Amino acid sequence: MDAEGSFLINIYRNKELSTGWHVKPRFQITLHQRDKALLEQIKSYFCVGSFNKSGARTIQYRVESVKDLATIIDHFDKYPLITQKQADYLLFKMIVNLINNKEHLTIEGLHKGI
């Protein structure tokens, strides 16, 4: 799972928000569509997330809800990654915590995650 898994933070311009920016965290695993059964097992294990088609031959398991991301964070806190991806995870976790604490709603909070 480590090779295909990603911790993403998307930041979109949104003039309706006080900071002008929308912050959207996402955990995803992308595999060839022939491996959908594996992604279904992962989804069943976590009990959160959804599937999205990603290209002609790939499928993604995604968790985008901040509430549901708590399940993913709990898992990787309990079972840490052993590659460079651990650093990505720790940054991702920090940003999700900023969101949970509503710090992303200020310019100062946005700068903490950058």
Q: Name the residue range of residue 13's domain.
A: 5-31+62-112
Residue 74 lies in a domain: yes
pTM metric for this prediction: 0.87
Residue 68 lies in a domain: yes
State the CATH number of the domain containing residue 88: 3.10.28.10
The pLDDT tens digits for 70-97 are 999 999 999 999 888 999 999 999 999 9
Residue 61 pLDDT level (bands cut at 50, 70, 90):
very high
The pLDDT tens digits for 19-44 are 888 899 999 999 999 999 999 999 99
Q: Which residue pairs, CB below 8 angstroms and at least 24 apart, start in 5-10?
A: 5/29, 5/85, 6/30, 6/88, 7/85, 7/88, 7/89, 7/91, 7/92, 8/92, 9/92, 9/95, 9/113
